[in-house]
C-alpha cells in the first residue's frame, strides 16, 4: 500500500459510502392495505362532458361484477408518505457504492432519465403509423448501428426486453440458421461458470445442454471443449470476459474449433463493459451477441427491471432476425421492414423503447473514445481493488482480472468460521452494498466484486478498509460478525419460513 | 472530455503504479493484440450533455404522433390514461429507479414491500391467490403462461383464441419454435372464441382466451372454462387490468392462470416499452410460477420482513431444468402500478373503467353515425375498444385524421396477421380499432367524428 493511495485519501472522503445516511427506521412500515379507510380517495379525473351510463346498459349481465373490485382506499398525502418511507428502506446506486459482481451497477446519468421523459418520446403510441414516428425509427436505426459498431456485428434487433430474452432470441436464431442449411442440431455447449440464464434459455430454445469444465486458469478447458464438439453441436454460449472476471485468451482457437464443426458462437454480453472499445465480439469470431443495456449502457435497473437485451449478429445470421425492424427506406423516410427469413416477433411491439432512448443518450455523451475510457477505468478499479484486498481476500485466480474480481473467503472460513455471506451482510453495515456471493459456482466461498468505472479511488479505499476491518473482526469477534447486519431496517430474514409458509399477498397472511 | 468517471490523471497514475504497470493498455495484455481494436471505434466523439439533449429533443420532435401533441384514440392494449404528478414523482425516486434486484433483503425492504403490495393488487384484480413480481409485457406473460400450462397438463397442444392481440400471438408462435408447442388459433364468431371451428385434431392441453378481445368485444370466459373441463385443459385468461375493476374476475370464472398488459396502470404509452407483464395463478401452480415472487416472513428479531421466495424455481438455481429463463423483469413498472392503483383506489379504478366503456360506446355511436362507416360487428357490445370499417383503406383514413390532429386508432392490417381468424379477410384492410379512455372529452369525440366524415371520402 503506502504512498500511492495515501495522498488522495488525505484530500478527500469517499463518495460512495452510505453508512452516514442510514436507511431509516427499524419500525415496520404498514402496507397500503393496512392504511386503507373505506370511502377515502385520492384520484382526480378530467372533466369530459360525456355522461357515464349505468354499466348494466353497457355490459351483458353475465360478465358484470356485482360491485367494484375492492383494492385499496388511501389519501394522496398518505400515499406520498408511504412510498417515500419505503424508498428510505431501499439501497440504490444513487445512495452509495454497489459493487455487485456481474451486474455492472454503475452510476445512471440523470440526463438519460430526462430524455426518456420527453413527451415526444414517452407519449408515442407504439401502433401509430410510421409517418408519425419518424423520430423513434431514426433513434432505433442509429442505436442499432452504434451497437453493431461497438460489437463488430452486421445487424441487430432491439426487441428483446432483457438479457434472458436476448439469449433465447439468439438461440432461436441459431436454430433458424442451421435449419436453413437443412441441419437439425440438438446440443449447445455451456461452460460450468456460466450464468443460470444460459442453460435455462438453451432448454427453452429446444436444446440439450452439455457443460464444459473450467481449467486451473479459470478459463474454458480447451481439451474438454474439443472432445465435446461434433456435428450435433449447434453452438457454444460464452461470456467473455467470463464470470470469473477473466478474459478467455484462447478465444481464437475456440472460435476456430466451433466453426470447424459448423457451429455458431453465442456471446453473453453480461460482461461487455470490460472490453468496450478494446476488443469486439465480432472480431473474436462470435456470430450472435446479446447486450444488457441496463448494465453496460447505464440504463437504471429499477429494482429488478426494466432492462433491454438487444441482439446483434454476423452477416450469415442477419436474414433471420426478428421483425419488423426499423429501417431507412429508399425514399429517405424511415419505415418497418421484416428480414426475409425472420424468426418472427419476440416482443409485443418494438422493444423496451424508453430504455433504448436512454442507452443512445449514454452512447452519444461518451462517444467512441469515452466508451474505451469506460472499459479502462472499470478494469483499473477492479484490479486496484483485487490487489488492495488480497491479503485477507485472495483472488480465486491470481492474475490480472477484467472489470470484476472473484475473491474467496475459504481461508477466512477455515481460520474463523466466517463465511462469504457473513462478510456480505456485515458490509451492509459499513454502508456498501454487498458483492455477489457464491457465484460463479466453481469458486468456493466466492465474493464477486465489480466496482465499475464510476466509483472513485477514495470510495475503493474506503471499501477496502471496511473489508480489512471485517477480516480482523472475524478473528477477534466472529459471533458478533455473524449477527450482522444490525443497523439496517430489518436484520437477517427467515428465508426458510417464507418458502414454508407462503404469504405472497396481504390476503394470504395468516398470522401477524 | 465529458463523462461520469471521477478519476483524475494523477489518480490513474497512482493506481497504475500500485499495480506495477506503466500504461493502462497493459491491463488488457491477456487479450491477443491481433484481436484488439487498433484504430478506435468508428463512432462520433463524445458530446456534452446539453448538446446531446438538444439532439434528442430534435429526434423527439420528429415524432408527430405523440399523444401529448394529438388527440389519442388508439388503444388495443396500450392506452392513453391519466398519470398524475404524484405517481410520476414517487415512481421517479432515485431509490426505486437505481436499485438492483433485491438480492440483499436487509437493504431492499422498500422495493420488496412495494412488490408485495403490487402482488396483492394483481391478485385481487385477477381473482387468483398468487401473482408474481411481473414479467416483460403482456406478450411475454401469455408466452410464459402457455409454458406453465403445458408443463402442468403435459400436452403441447395449445388452443389460442384470436381475440388475443395479434402481436402477442406472433410472439407466442416465435417462442414455440424452441419449445415445440403446437399453437392452434381459434377463430372468432360474433366477437367470441368459436371452439367448434377447431373441433377435431388432438385435444388441447391449454386454452387461452382474452376476456375482452383486441377488437373490443367480450369473450365468454365461463364458456371457455366449460370447454377446458370437457377436454381436461388448463385455462389461461388474458384480462385488462382497468376493466378488471368492474367485470367478474377471471379467477371467479374458473381461470387457472390470468395474464395481462399492465401498461394502463401508470405507465406512459412509451412507444411500446418498457411495459408490464401481469401474471397470476392458482396455488397449485405456484411451483411452476415464472419470475420472481416476494413473500412475507420475519427477521431474526421477529419483525415483519419481505424476501424473494420459492427461489428454487428460478434459472440461477435450476439452470437447464428451470421452467422459465426470466431474470430481469419490470419491477419499476410494477411499483409504478402499485402507486397508480393506490392513487386511483377502489372507486377511482371503477370510475376509470366505467368511463372507458361508456365513452367508447359514445365514440362508437358517433363514428358509426358517419355515412360509410360501419361497426365491424353490428349489435355486439363494446368493452373499451371498438372496431369499425371504412369504405377506403384504414391506413389512408388514419393518415388523413393525423393531418387534422387525431391519432384515430390502429389499422388492424398494421398488426401481425399470419393465420388470423379473428376477422373477415375481405375487411382486414378497412378495419380500424379505436378507443376512448377516461381522458377523452365529448368535444374531442365529436370533432373526431366530423374529421372522419371528410377522411373517408
Strands in B123-240 per DSSP E: 130-131, 157-161, 182-186, 188-189, 192-193, 206-210, 234-238
Provide, rounded to the nearest whole percent, the portion of chain A with pLDDT above 70.
Answer: 96
Provide, rounded to the nearest whole percent, the portion of chain A with pLDDT above 90.
Answer: 93
**Mean per-residue pLDDT for B172-185?**
97
pLDDT value of residue A216: 94
| Cα Rg of chain B (Å, integer) | 25
**Mean per-residue pLDDT for B323-329?**
91
Q: How far apart are the C-alpha atoms of B249 and B7, rounded to whole Å?
A: 56
pLDDT value of residue B211: 98
pLDDT value of residue A510: 65
Burial letters B16-55, b for 16+ CB under 10 A, else e = bebbebeebeebbeebeeebebeeebebeebbebeebbeb
Helix (H) / strand (E) element for B54: namely helix B49-61
Query: Which grid cell is B297?
Result: 416472513
Q: CA of A261, closest CA in chain B: separation in Å?
A: 22
Per the listing, cell 452512447 goes with: A363
Size of chain A, expressed as the number of residues it contains: 512
Q: How many CA atoms lie within 13 A of B223 on its CB side?
A: 14
B365 CB within 8 Å of a chain A CB = no
3-state secondary structure of B387: strand
Q: How far apart are the C-alpha atoms of B240 and B77, rounded to whole Å?
A: 8
Please give the residue of chain B at the shortest CA–CA distance from A49.
B442
Provide, rounded to the nearest whole percent, the portion of chain B with pLDDT above 90.
Answer: 92
> Which of A44, A247, A292 has the CB atom closest to B30's CB atom?
A247
**Mean per-residue pLDDT for A6-28?**
69
Q: Is the model's pLDDT at A2 over the cut of 70?
A: no
pLDDT value of residue A400: 96
Q: Is the model's pLDDT at B2 over the cut of 80?
A: no
Torsion of CA A32, A38, A41, A45, to 10 degrees: 120
User: A5 pLDDT band (50/70/90 cuts)?
Assistant: very low
Q: How far apart are the C-alpha atoms of B55 and B61, rounded to whole Å?
A: 10
Q: How far apart are the C-alpha atoms of A90 and B96, rounded to whole Å?
A: 7
Q: How far apart are the C-alpha atoms of A459 and A208, rounded to whole Å?
A: 44
Residue scoring higher pLDDT (A27 or A310): A310
> Which of A72, A111, A501 has the CB atom closest to B49's CB atom?
A111
**Residue A171 with chain B: CB contacts under 8 Å:** 178
User: A384 pLDDT band (50/70/90 cuts)?
Assistant: very high
Q: Which residues contact B351 (CB under 8 A, 6 or more apart)?
A: A43, A45, A52, B438
Q: What is the pLDDT of residues A150-199, one digit of tens each?
A: 999 999 999 999 999 999 999 999 999 999 999 999 999 999 999 989 99
Q: Is the model's pLDDT at B200 over the cut of 90?
A: no
CB A239 within 8 A of CB A268: yes
Q: What is the pLDDT of residues B342-356, one digit of tens each?
A: 999 999 999 999 999
CB B359 within 8 A of CB A48: yes
Helix (H) / strand (E) element for A210: namely strand A208-212
Q: Measured in whole angstroms, how far is the alpha carbon of residue B104 from the centre of its chain?
A: 28
**Residue B48 with chain A: CB contacts under 8 Å:** 365
Q: CA of A63, closest CA in chain B: separation in Å?
A: 6
Q: What is the pLDDT of residues B383-412, one digit of tens each?
A: 999 999 999 999 999 999 999 999 999 999
Model ipTM? 0.98
Q: Measured in whole angstroms, how far is the alpha carbon of residue A288 from the centre of its chain?
A: 18
The DSSP line for A450-472 is ---TTS-HHHHHHHHHHHHHHHH
User: A7 pLDDT band (50/70/90 cuts)?
Assistant: very low
What does residue B53 show for φ and ψ, rounded to 5 degrees?
-60, -45
Q: Is the model's pLDDT at B366 over the cut of 90?
A: yes
Lowest mean pLDDT among A9-18, A136-145, B113-122: A9-18
Q: Which residues contact B251 (CB under 8 A, 6 or more apart)?
A: B126, B127, B128, B258, B280, B282
Q: How far apart are the C-alpha atoms of A484 and A482, rounded to whole Å?
A: 5
Average predicted confidence (pLDDT) for chain B: 96
**Mean per-residue pLDDT for A324-337?**
98
Alpha-carbon distances, residue A113 vs A117, A349, A358, B47, B97 (angstroms): 6, 21, 7, 17, 10
pTM over 0.95: yes
Q: Which of B279, B287, B274 is closest to B332 using CA atoms? A: B274
Angle (CA) A406 A298 A98, round 5°: 40
Q: Which residues contact B232 (CB under 8 A, 6 or more apart)?
A: B153, B203, B205
Top residue of A66, A298, A303, A454 to mutate, by most chain B CBs within 10 Å, is: A303
**Mean per-residue pLDDT for A126-130?**
97
Per the listing, cell 393488487 goes with: B121
Angle (CA) B99 B104 B107, round 5°: 65
The DSSP line for A89-143 is TB--TTTS---BTTS------HHHHHHHT-HHHHTB-TTS-GGG-HHHHHHHHHH
Q: Cβ of B269 and A123 within 8 Å?
A: yes
Query: In sequence order, which ranges of A306-419 are alpha helices (DSSP H)?
Result: 353-388, 410-416
**Mean per-residue pLDDT for B418-447?**
93
CB B274 within 8 A of CB A98: no
Q: CA of A489, closest CA in chain B: separation in Å?
A: 6
Q: Cβ of A490 and B274 within 8 Å?
A: no
**Mean per-residue pLDDT for A31-55?**
97
Lowest mean pLDDT among B128-137, B290-299, B420-429: B420-429
Q: Is the model's pLDDT at A487 over the cut of 80?
A: yes
Per the listing, cell 453473453 goes with: A268
Q: Measured in whole angstroms, how far is the alpha carbon of residue B445 from the centre of its chain?
A: 26
Angle (CA) B278 B281 B283, round 5°: 145
pLDDT value of residue A210: 97
pLDDT value of residue B69: 87
How, if at all, do strands B304-308 and B294-298 pair?
antiparallel
Q: How far apart are the C-alpha atoms of A386 and A395, rounded to whole Å?
A: 7
3-state secondary structure of B306: strand
**Mean per-residue pLDDT for B80-101?**
97
**Mean per-residue pLDDT for A351-365?**
98
**Mean per-residue pLDDT for B7-11?**
96
How many Cβ pairs within 8 Å bridge chains A and B?
758
Domains within chain B, CATH numbers bracketed: 67-81+347-455 (3.90.1150.10), 86-338 (3.40.640.10)
Q: What is the pLDDT of residues A437-480, one digit of tens each?
A: 999 989 999 999 999 999 999 999 999 999 999 999 999 999 99
Amino acid at each position: 500500500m503506502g504512498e500511492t493511495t495515501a495522498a488522495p485519501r488525505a484530500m478527500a472522503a469517499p463518495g460512495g459510502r452510505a453508512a452516514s445516511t442510514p436507511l431509516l427506521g427499524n419500525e415496520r412500515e404498514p402496507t397500503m392495505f393496512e392504511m386503507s379507510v373505506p370511502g377515502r380517495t385520492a384520484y382526480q379525473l378530467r372533466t369530459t362532458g360525456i355522461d357515464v351510463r349505468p354499466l348494466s346498459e353497457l355490459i351483458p349481465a353475465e360478465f358484470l361484477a356485482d360491485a367494484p373490485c375492492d383494492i385499496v382506499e388511501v389519501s394522496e398525502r398518505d400515499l406520498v408518505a408511504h412510498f417515500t418511507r419505503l424508498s428510505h428502506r431501499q439501497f440504490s446506486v444513487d445512495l452509495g457504492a454497489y459493487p455487485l459482481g456481474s451486474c455492472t451497477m454503475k452510476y445512471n446519468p440523470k440526463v438519460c432519465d430526462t430524455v426518456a421523459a420527453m413527451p415526444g418520446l414517452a407519449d408515442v403510441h407504439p401502433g401509430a403509423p410510421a409517418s408519425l414516428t419518424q423520430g423513434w425509427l431514426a433513434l432505433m436505426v442509429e442505436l442499432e448501428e452504434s451497437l453493431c459498431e461497438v460489437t463488430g456485428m452486421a445487424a441487430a434487433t432491439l426487441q428483446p426486453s432483457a438479457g434472458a430474452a436476448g439469449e433465447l432470441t439468439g438461440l432461436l436464431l441459431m436454430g433458424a440458421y442451421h435449419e436453413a442449411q437443412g441441419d437439425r442440431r440438438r446440443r449447445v455447449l455451456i461452460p460450468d461458470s456460466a450464468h443460470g440464464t444460459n442453460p435455462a434459455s438453451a432448454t427453452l430454445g429446444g436444446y440439450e445442454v452439455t457443460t464444459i469444465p473450467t481449467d486451473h486458469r479459470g478459463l474454458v478447458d480447451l481439451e474438454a471443449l474439443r472432445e465435446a464438439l461434433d456435428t450435433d453441436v449447434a453452438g457454444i454460449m460464452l461470456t467473455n470476459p467470463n464470470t470469473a472476471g477473466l478474459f478467455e485468451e484462447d478465444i481464437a482457437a475456440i472460435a476456430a474449433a466451433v466453426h470447424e464443426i459448423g457451429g455458431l458462437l453465442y456471446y453473453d454480453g453480461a460482461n461487455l463493459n470490460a472490453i468496450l472499445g478494446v476488443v469486439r465480439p465480432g472480431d473474436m469470431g462470435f456470430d450472435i451477441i446479446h447486450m444488457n443495456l441496463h448494465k453496460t449502457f447505464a440504463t437504471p435497473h429499477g429494482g429488478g427491471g426494466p432492462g433491454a437485451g438487444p441482439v446483434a449478429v454476423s452477416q450469415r445470421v442477419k436474414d433471420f432476425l426478428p421483425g419488423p425492424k426499423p429501417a431507412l427506406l429508399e425514399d429517405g423516410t424511415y419505415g418497418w421492414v421484416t428480414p426475409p427469413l425472420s424468426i418472427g416477433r419476440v416482443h409485443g411491439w418494438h422493444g423496451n423503447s424508453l430504455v433504448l432512448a436512454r442507452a443512445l443518450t449514454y452512447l452519444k455523451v461518451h462517444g467512441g473514445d469515452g466508451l474505451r475510457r469506460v472499459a479502462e477505468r472499470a478494469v483499473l478499479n477492479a484490479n486496484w481493488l483485487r490487489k488492495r484486498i488480497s491479503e485477507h481476500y485472495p483472488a480465486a485466480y491470481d492474475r490480472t482480472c477484467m472489470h470484476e474480481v472473484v475473491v474467496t473467503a475459504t481461508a477466512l472460513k477455515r481460520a474463523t468460521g466466517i463465511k462469504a455471506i457473513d462478510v456480505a451482510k456485515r458490509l451492509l453495515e459499513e454502508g456498501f452494498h454487498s458483492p455477489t456471493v457464491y457465484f460463479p459456482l466453481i469458486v468456493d466461498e466466492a465474493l464477486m466484486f465489480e466496482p465499475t468505472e464510476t466509483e472513485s479511488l477514495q470510495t475503493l479505499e474506503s471499501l477496502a478498509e471496511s473489508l480489512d476491518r471485517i477480516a480482523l473482526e472475524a478473528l477477534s469477534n466472529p459471533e458478533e460478525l455473524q449477527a450482522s447486519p444490525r443497523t439496517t431496517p430489518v436484520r437477517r430474514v427467515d428465508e426458510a419460513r417464507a418458502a414454508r409458509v407462503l404469504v405472497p399477498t396481504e390476503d394470504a397472511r395468516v398470522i401477524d | 472530455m465529458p463523462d461520469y468517471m471521477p478519476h483524475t490523471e494523477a489518480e490513474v497514475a497512482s493506481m497504475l503504479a500500485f499495480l506495477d504497470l506503466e500504461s493502462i493498455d497493459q491491463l488488457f495484455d491477456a487479450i491477443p493484440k491481433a484481436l484488439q481494436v487498433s484504430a478506435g471505434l468508428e463512432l462520433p466523439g463524445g458530446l456534452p450533455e446539453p448538446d446531446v439533449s438538444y439532439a434528442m429533443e430534435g429526434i423527439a420532435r420528429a415524432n408527430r404522433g405523440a399523444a401529448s401533441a394529438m388527440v389519442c384514440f388508439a388503444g388495443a392494449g396500450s392506452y392513453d390514461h391519466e398519470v398524475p404528478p404524484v405517481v410520476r414523482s414517487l415512481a421517479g425516486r432515485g431509490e426505486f429507479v437505481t436499485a438492483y434486484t433485491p438480492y440483499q433483503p436487509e437493504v431492499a425492504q422498500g422495493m420488496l414491500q412495494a412488490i408485495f403490495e403490487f402482488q396483492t393488487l394483481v391478485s385481487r384484480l385477477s381473482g387468483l391467490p398468487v401473482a408474481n413480481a411481473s414479467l416483460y409485457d403482456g406478450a411475454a406473460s401469455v408466452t410464459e403462461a402457455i409454458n406453465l400450462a403445458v408443463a402442468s397438463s403435459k400436452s403441447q397442444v395449445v388452443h389460442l383464441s384470436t381475440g388475443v392481440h395479434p402481436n402477442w400471438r406472433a410472439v407466442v408462435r416465435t417462442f414455440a419454435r424452441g419449445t415445440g408447442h403446437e399453437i392452434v388459433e381459434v377463430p372468432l364468431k360474433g366477437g367470441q372464441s368459436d371452439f367448434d371451428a377447431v373441433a377435431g385434431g388432438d385435444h388441447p392441453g391449454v386454452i387461452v382466451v382474452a376476456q375482452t378481445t383486441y377488437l373490443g368485444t367480450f369473450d365468454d370466459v365461463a364458456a371457455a372454462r366449460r370447454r377446458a373441463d370437457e377436454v381436461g385443459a388448463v385455462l389461461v385468461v388474458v384480462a385488462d387490468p382497468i376493466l378488471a375493476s368492474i367485470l367478474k374476475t377471471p379467477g371467479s370464472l374458473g381461470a387457472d392462470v390470468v395474464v395481462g398488459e399492465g401498461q394502463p396502470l401508470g405507465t406512459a404509452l412509451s412507444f411500446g416499452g418498457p411495459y408490464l407483464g401481469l401474471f397470476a395463478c392458482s396455488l397449485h401452480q405456484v411451483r411452476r410460477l415464472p419470475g420472481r415472487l416476494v413473500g412475507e416472513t420475519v427477521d431474526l428479531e421477529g419483525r415483519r420482513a419481505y424476501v424473494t421466495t420459492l427461489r428454487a424455481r428460478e434459472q440461477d438455481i435450476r439452470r437447464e431444468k428451470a421452467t422459465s429463463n426470466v431474470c430481469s423483469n419490470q419491477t419499476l413498472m410494477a411499483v409504478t402500478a402499485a402507486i397508480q392503483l393506490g392513487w386511483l383506489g377502489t372507486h377511482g379504478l371503477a370510475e376509470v373503467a366505467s368511463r372507458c366503456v361508456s365513452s367508447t360506446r359514445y365514440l362508437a355511436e358517433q363514428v358509426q353515425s358517419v355515412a360509410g362507416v360501419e361497426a365491424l360487428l353490428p349489435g355486439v357490445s363494446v368493452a373499451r375498444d371498438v372496431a369499425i370499417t371504412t369504405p377506403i383503406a384504414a391506413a389512408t383514413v388514419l393518415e388523413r385524421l393525423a393531418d387534422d390532429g387525431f391519432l384515430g386508432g390502429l389499422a388492424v392490417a398494421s398488426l401481425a396477421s399470419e393465420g388470423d381468424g379473428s376477422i373477415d379477410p375481405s375487411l382486414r384492410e378497412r378495419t380500424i380499432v379505436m378507443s376512448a379512455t377516461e381522458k377523452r372529452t365529448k368535444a374531442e369525440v365529436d370533432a373526431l367524428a366530423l374529421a372522419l366524415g371528410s377522411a373517408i371520402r
